[in-house]
Structure 1
Amino acid sequence: MIAMIGAAVAPGIAILSYFYLRDSLEPEPISMVIRSFIFGVLLVIPIMVIQYIMQTEWNWRDGIVAEVFQSAFVEEFFKWMVIYFTAYKHVEFDEPYDGIVYAVAVSLGFATLENLFYLIINGLDIAFWRALLPVSSHALFAVWMGYYLGLAKFSKGVRKERIFLWVSVALPIALHALYNAIFLSIQNWLVVIVPFMLILWWQGLKKVQRAHDFGSKKLSSRPQ
């Protein structure tokens, strides 16, 4: 059981540590990051209940439409809600890259407990693939979410903020839905999912650099 817990927790902690340590400007308080991670963990049960209701009461069991709403929309929307109400308005959210840190923390908290449940049910044989695909994908969807939350937080004007906030939730939902659709609709999904994940990493790391550049400009413009 200890090995299973370790296999479930290690990928999320490793990826979160990577993105946290990339924050070279004004690193977030570790207590805030841990709190966000725990919020993500706590999201798993209510989301599972909502998905169960969708499957049983609404009879959404199979197909791409069901996966889009049950998985992509529900999971990304509730993660976004948690980030918005617990981190976005917090005083510690003081540079654009912070959006990425908090979004990744919440998403990986969710992905870690979800990963543990999958390993308990299916065994350690799938641990490598779970770390490589679902856990990593949750983190990468969060990078896009956090990047646009950062742009929203430090945008000039209410209209721009609202546009970036909308993009920050809509884009991760779309990416998550596309990720699910690859597995559901393509027989030889490995041929497609590998380049898809590589593109997510490539673009995600570009978002990280852009958030840093934006943050550097913001800090340099502060009165000395």
Structure 2
Amino acid sequence: MIATIGASIAPGIALLSYFYLKDRYQTEPLHIVIKTFIFGILLVFPVMVLQYGLQEEIEFGTLGKAFIIAGLIEEFFKWFIVYYTVYKHMDFDDPYDGIVYSVAVSLGFATLENFFYLYSFGIQEALMRALLPVSSHALFGVTMGYYLGRAKFEKSASAGKLLMFYSIMIPAVLHGLYDFILLSTKNHYLWIISPFMAILWLTSLRRIRKVQNKSKMAPF
């Protein structure tokens, strides 16, 4: 059990530390980041209940399971936590902060989900879980936070609303596409999911550099 807990937590903590420490100019208060991570853990339970209830009432095909049950529901509730707990907080004072907090809630969610999976199927799955599901949640969080951070500091109200819409829908679509690949290509999914993850990593790192350059503390 101790090994399972350690293997479940380690990827989430490692990835959160990585994205937290990539804040070049002013790292966020650690207690708020930890609180957001814990909110992500707690979020698993209501999301699981809602997903189970919907699937009991409605017959979803592969597309529905991927894009609605997994993508839209999970990303919306992560967004909801970030928006209503830290978005208006005084410490959310830089575009990169959106990435830190969105990644924190996403990795909290992924960590408990990872524990349930490893507890059920064995610790031998730990490496693949770290490379795929846990990492993907972090990268969906980067995408969400990128648009949230831009929306927060956008001067145009109409552009801000559009960026806010993107902060929910683009991570939801990416998450749905990820799950659709897994559900529809079970035997050969690595041939498709590997380039998908590589593109997601490259795009996320590019977005990180972009918001860092927009920081009010960035040198001119």
TM-score (norm. length: structure 1): 0.94
Q: What CA distance in whole angstroms lies between the structure 1 residues aligned with 2:174 and 2:62?
A: 17
Task: Describe the superposition over 1:58-91 as per-residue Cα deviations: whole angstroms up to 9, x where unpaired.
Answer: 233x522122211111100000010011111111
Q: What CA distance in whole angstroms lies between the structure 2 residues aligned with 1:168 and 1:22?
A: 21
Q: What CA distance in whole angstroms lies between the structure 2 residues aligned with 1:118 and 1:82?
A: 23
Task: Describe the superposition over 1:92-122 as per-residue Cα deviations: whole angstroms up to 9, x where unpaired.
Answer: 0000000000000000000000000001111
Q: Secondary structure at the match of 1:121?
A: helix
Q: How far is 1:220 from its partner?
A: 5.9
* Residue 21 (structure 1) aligned with residue 21 (structure 2): yes
Q: What residue number does 1:87 align with? A: 86
Q: What CA distance in whole angstroms lies between the structure 2 residues aligned with 1:125 and 1:137?
A: 19
- What runs of 5+ residues in structure 2 fail to find an aligned partner? none
- Write out the 4+ residue segments of structure 1 that deviate beyond 4 Å after TM superposition: none
Q: What residue number does 2:202 align with? A: 202
- What runs of 5+ residues in structure 1 fail to find an aligned partner? none
Q: Which amino acid in structure 1 is aligned with residue 191 of structure 2?
A: V
Q: 5 Å matches for 1:184-203?
A: 184-186=183-185, 187-203=187-203
Q: Which amino acid in structure 2 is aligned with residue 150 of structure 1?
A: G
* Residue 116 (structure 1) aligned with residue 123 (structure 2): no
Q: What residue number does 1:214 align with? A: 214
* Residue 162 (structure 1) aligned with residue 161 (structure 2): yes
Task: Describe the superposition over 1:158-205 as per-residue Cα deviations: whole angstroms up to 9, x where unpaired.
Answer: 111101000011100010011111112235211111111011101100
Q: Which amino acid in structure 1 is aligned with residue 65 of structure 2?
A: A
Q: 5 Å matches for 1:122-133?
A: 122-133=121-132
Q: What CA distance in whole angstroms lies between the structure 2 residues aligned with 1:159 and 1:85?
A: 21
Q: What residue number does 1:33 align with? A: 33
Alignment: residue pair count = 218
Aligned CA RMSD, in angstroms, stands at: 1.2
Q: What CA distance in whole angstroms lies between the structure 2 residues aligned with 1:188 and 1:123?
A: 21
Q: What residue number does 1:57 align with? A: 57
Identity %: 53
Q: Secondary structure at the match of 1:80?
A: helix
Q: 5 Å matches for 1:140-179?
A: 140-179=139-178
